Structure 1
Amino acid sequence: MAKGKDIRVRVILECTSCVQNGVNKESPGIARYITQKNRHNTPSRLDLRKFCRYCHKHTIHGEIKKEIERVFDLSKGQEKEELNIS
């Protein structure tokens, strides 16, 4: 059976409390995780409780709209990942 689009996609999870508070001098950045989800089982956005190293506690990390694509680099013969911002 042929598969149309990839069922499992890689998504980026971003700390919601860092985004709401904004990045200030005390917080050097926004915590992000890369994970996979199944498009058929979870068509909506993914929210998981993960540890934020900038907030120093477990917070809700929500899916953001950047997607990671696997691109085959012909010059090196290896796969690499690229971010597409849409």
Structure 2
Amino acid sequence: MRDKVVLECTVCKNRNYDTMKNKKNTTNRIELKKYCKFCKSHTLHKETR
């Protein structure tokens, strides 16, 4: 049930993180505040498809 998803920075559009998500419980796209090493700050990261 758990699928691998990739998180993309909303500021610089780099794909920085891989994570797992349970698609049965979480049907929407994940949005997390994570550190982006390219922007050198904490930014919003969204799930890509």
TM over 0.5: yes
Secondary structure of the residue that 2:12 maps to in structure 1?
helix
- In the superposition, the TM-score normalised over structure 2's length comes to 0.91
Q: Paired residue for 1:48?
A: 32
State the distance in 1 between where 2:39 and 2:47 align: 18
Question: Shift of residue 15 of structure 1?
Answer: 0.3
The structure whose residues are more often helix, as a share, is 1
Give the structure, 1 or 2, with the largest relative contact order (CA under 8 Å, sep 6 or more): 2
CA RMSD of aligned residues (A): 0.9
State the aligned residue count.
49
Q: Paired residue for 1:17?
A: 11
- The list of structure 1 runs, each at least 4 consecutive aligned residues, that deviate by more than 6 angstroms after superposition, is none
Structure 2's unaligned 5+ residue stretches are none
Percentage identity across aligned positions? 45
